[in-house]
């Protein structure tokens, strides 16, 4: 069966711009990491109504982002297409070779969900546009739309639903992930309690126009990512893993840098 690649991402910068209910609004530059990806494929299984994910996961099937994507897709389809989708997964399971670490700020679960939605759209000829898939994906997680669009680099805002392509050369990114499982809700919670300081619109526009290599050349790690300081406070052992010249992705625990020297 055909293999599909679900790529990781890093956040070149991640700044909080405000709140929307219980959600934090952000402005962030997402960049795809070409060298790190999960591999997804459909594989035959014994006929049954059970949705099956084959791979190394610590969560229950119904907690998996792929299952959540399946449920969201099923809910959005007409009766005929929904029946085709259910029929497909009565005969096939989803095989996932995990290479992207979990709880790492690299978007692995979101990328898997987005890739799964695109696989279903292709295999079943559902005819859904990328915008329609992104709206379905947003029900699964805030980062899913970025992976649906498949851009090399993009400015992501709102709670993740606004994805604007940023045309630039894809950087050769090296990722280092310590064995620390970080809770994104806890990091955001501490940010809100102790570090809340949204940036203004002028700074948002300045960052949106800057090339990623220029941002990494001029901005320190704790300035680039508003979640770095609260993550360090919550997970003291992160300090032992931080290396000069590296940046922090998402809510962690991954650090990254550009392999070639930034001129």
| Active centre residues (catalytic) | 9, 143
Instruction: Report the distance separating Cα 135 and Cα 131, nearest Å.
Output: 6
User: Do residues 85 and 74 make contact, with C-beta atoms less than 8 angstroms apart?
Assistant: yes
Query: What is the total residue count of the chain?
Result: 263
Name the nearest CA neighbour of 102 among 11, 12, 33, 180.
180
Name the nearest CA neighbour of 167 among 209, 203, 206, 201.
209
Instruction: Report the distance separating Cα 137 and Cα 68, nearest Å.
Output: 9
User: Do residues 132 and 154 make contact, with C-beta atoms less than 8 angstroms apart?
Assistant: no
How many Å from the N-terminal Cα to the C-terminal Cα in the chain? 43
What DSSP string runs through 112-150? HHHHHHHHHHHHTT----HHHHHHHHHTT-TTHHHHHHT
Bond from prior residue into 80 cis (ω within 30 degrees of 0): no
What DSSP string runs through 188-210? HHHIIIII--PPPHHHHHHHHHS
Instruction: Report the distance separating Cα 2 and Cα 191, nearest Å.
Output: 42
């Amino acid at each position: 069966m055909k293999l599909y690649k679900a790529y990781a991402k890093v956040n070149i910068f991640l700044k909080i711009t405000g709140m929307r209910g219980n959600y934090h609004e952000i402005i962030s530059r997402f960049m795809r990491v070409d060298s790190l990806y999960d591999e997804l494929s459909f594989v035959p299984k014994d006929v049954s109504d059970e949705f099956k994910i084959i791979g190394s996961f610590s969560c229950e099937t119904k907690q998996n982002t792929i299952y959540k994507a399946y449920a969201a897709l099923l809910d959005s389809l007409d009766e005929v297409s929904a029946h085709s989708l259910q029929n497909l997964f009565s005969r096939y399971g989803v095989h996932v070779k995990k290479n992207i670490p979990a709880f790492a700020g690299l978007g692995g679960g979101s990328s898997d969900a987005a890739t799964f939605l695109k696989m279903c759209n292709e295999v079943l000829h559902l005819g859904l546009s990328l915008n329609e898939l992104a709206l379905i994906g947003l029900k699964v997680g805030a980062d899913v739309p970025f992976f649906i669009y498949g851009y090399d680099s993009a400015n992501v805002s709102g709670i993740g639903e606004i994805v604007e392509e940023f045309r630039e050369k894809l950087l050769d990114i090296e990722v280092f992930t310590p064995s620390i499982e970080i809770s994104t809700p806890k990091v955001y919670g501490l940010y809100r309690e102790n570090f809340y300081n949204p940036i203004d619109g002028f700074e948002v526009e300045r960052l949106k126009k800057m090339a990623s290599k220029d941002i990494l050349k001029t901005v320190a790690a704790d300035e680039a990512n508003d979640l770095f300081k609260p993550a360090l406070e919550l997970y003291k052992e992160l300090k032992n893993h931080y290396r000069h010249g590296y940046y922090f992705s998402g809510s962690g625990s991954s650090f990254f840098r550009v392999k070639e020297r930034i001129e």
